[in-house]
Amino acid sequence: MAGGDPEIRAVLFDIDGTLLVTGGAGGVAWQRAFEELHGVEADVAEHTDAGMTDPEIAAIVFREVIGREGTAEERARAIGCYLKHLPDAVAGSDGYRVMPGVEQLLDRLIEAGVLLGLVTGNVEAAAHIKLARGRLNRFFSFGGYGSDSADRTEVTEAALRRGALVSGGSLQNSSCISVGDTPRDVAAGHGAGIEVVGVATGSYGLEQLNQAQADWALVDLTAGFPT
């Protein structure tokens, strides 16, 4: 790690734009959910930014598309309906792909004894639906999810707590890093007290990730990963 810090023992990966892209499957599932429940056309991409959590997305769609604040029960029902539609949307997406170098990197980290976790704005079920098509679930033993909190820093903190449990209490935050493709991912990792790899495989380029103060900024996960 930078500055002679302890060796990396755990890496937390974002999903969308970092490990894979679904080719818009998430947006399709949200659209189907809001059409089914509320009879409205909800183009999520018009109203949200990369790196938002699922609870944030549900709240924004209510506010900006339906025109009112949804109740907690309504937002929870929307997420449940989204999850109902997500498997078919992912399976039917022509644009689904795993990012370059992902499987090779994950294999290498596992072989080196590094614990792998998730840190994602997806609620937990959505995360595993998206990973399943690319056969990536097998790599991850813990995670933090949008179902833990709408705040990405709190999601990262949840992942770190679970990583400590998986390690039998031996894992320290100083030996963990996170990986993401947005400035939100960088801010969340730093907010939780860990270093962050920014990877320019999503909506943001190297310059923007450097401006967000990523500790490392990479073109993709084939390029000089810091372990």
**Regarding the domain with residue range 25-91, which homologous superfamily does it belong to in the CATH classification?**
Putative phosphatase; domain 2 (1.10.150.240)
For residue 69, pLDDT beyond 50: yes
For residue 119, pLDDT beyond 70: yes
CATH 3.40.50.1000 fits 2-22+96-218, yes or no: yes
The residue whose two tokens read 């699922």 is: 54
Q: Could you tell me the CA-to-CA distances from 115 to 25, 56, 141 in Å, in that order?
A: 29, 28, 7
Residue 3: which pLDDT band, with cuts at 50, 70 and 90? Answer: very low
Q: How many CB atoms lie within 10 A of CB 125?
A: 17
Q: Do domains 2-22+96-218 and 25-91 have the same CATH topology?
A: no
Q: How many Å apart are CA 40 and CA 47, to the nearest integer?
A: 14
Domain boundaries, the chain: 2-22+96-218, 25-91
For residue 46, pLDDT beyond 90: no
